[in-house]
Amino acid sequence: MVDHMKIKLNGTEIELPVIEGTENEKAIDISKLRAETGHITLDNGFGNTGSCKSKITFLDGEKGILRYRGYPIEQLADNSSFLEVSYLLNHGELPNKVELEKFEKTVKEPTLPVGICDLLDDFPKTAHPMGVAASAIVALSAFVPRENLDITKIDKDEVLGQLMESISIIAARFFRHRQGKKIIGTDPNLSYVENLYNMMFDEIPSEKVKKALEVLLILHADHEQNCSASAVRVIGSAQTNPYACISGGISALWGALHGGANQAVMEMLQDIQDNGGDYRKALDRAKDKEDPFRLMGFGHRVYKNFDPRAKIIKKACDTVLDQLGVSDPLLDVAKGLEKVALEDPYFVDRKLYPNVDFYSGIIYRALGIPTDMFTVMFAIGRLPGWFAQWRELAEFKGSKIARPRQVYMGENERDYIPMEKR
């Protein structure tokens, strides 16, 4: 028996079906509300609105749960590789050895077209890497066969492989270009993560650094219907090619309230350091309602408990800092801020714990990655998740073009006033 919710508007009563997900999430299906009542719902920021049914990622913010295709993020971070997780997100199951080898080959085979390499070299070295990445990914569509732009003919795994390899080359190439260093090509004998690191730093990462990067990319791979995933789906709902959709996802991720948060964390830490390095004073300012100062990297819009990704990445952070033995005043500020905040009743009572952005920024800085590259590293991890979201949308037979409604609050009808009478 299907549950319904009854509502009464202007004397008319209608029933709206209640949909229940596999994790007992409940939603009221309002798809016929406007047709039957003339009313729409208003939900600023879509915090209470479900835009789709999805089988990819489950998130429970109250309990601090994150699962990809049913697998707890903790198990994947401990045991899996980024490529294996990328396959899982896009195919629904963990790959066997043959499937993983085939997928890895698909990711390693593409090379970046010469025209894109020239484009990257022409960007000013002062350009923000996120703008470069978004531009280069959408430009890539001009260098692929036309059938790869037709979503009815596309080989989805082939395009996913090309996009994953391309974004790593784009990020690494621009990273070295802006420093005036020799460009390092891909090495077929290296894993995806090893290749990325080698293209950036011209050296193979240690096992501990490699594992930390694997964990970072896995934790960033998908996060349900966030801003950038929703952007990918909205663009894709117009049957737009995946290159343009992924470029849109990168642009959405760029924002300071989304993927740019890890950059904002480092900028906040730098500000604290520039003003004497007193992180205790920064905590006091954050607690002062009259002070506009905001503590970045603490708390999360969705998680009302500890961000499960933060628990995992904290271990990776400690491992990397311990192995590298980096001496950096900014990292000292970060560690001090973390320790004091975790003991401060104000933050503990409000469950304002350090989130994934706080720790990821620390790791990237310790590795020698500049602050404005942090969000590109995030994008590399998120790309297979975006593609999985696009893929699910493209394969859903009942898919419709996204077209939200609005409540108009402007002027009523009025007559045009000639220029001489204004």
Residues tagged active-site:
300, 357
CA gap 395, 398 in Å, rounded: 9
Helix (H/G/I), strand (E/B), else coil: 118? helix
Q: Are 203 and 195 in contact (CB under 8 A)?
A: no
Residue 111 burial (10 A CB sphere; 0-12, 13-18, 19+): middle
Q: Are 386 and 373 in contact (CB under 8 A)?
A: no
* Cα-based distances in Å from 342 to 80, 279, 335, 349: 29, 13, 11, 10
Q: Are 81 and 104 in contact (CB under 8 A)?
A: no
Residues near 114 by beta carbon (within 8 Å), at least 6 away in sequence: none
Q: Are 85 and 218 in contact (CB under 8 A)?
A: yes
CA gap 398, 247 in Å, rounded: 25
Cα dihedral 190, 191, 197, 199, rounded to 10, equals: 50
| Token pair recorded at residue 9 | 């508007």
Q: Are 228 and 253 in contact (CB under 8 A)?
A: yes
Burial 239-276 (b: 16+ CB within 10 A, else e): ebbbbbbbbbbbbbbbeeebbbbbbbbbbbbeebbeee
Q: How far is CA 202 from the centre of its chain?
A: 27
Tell me which residue of 137, 380, 135 sits closest to 243, measured CA to CA. Answer: 137
3-state secondary structure 135-190: HHHHHHHHHCCHHHHCCCCCCHHHHHHHHHHHHHHHHHHHHHHCCCCCCCCCCCCC
Which stretches within 290-355 are classed as H helix? 308-324, 329-343, 345-349
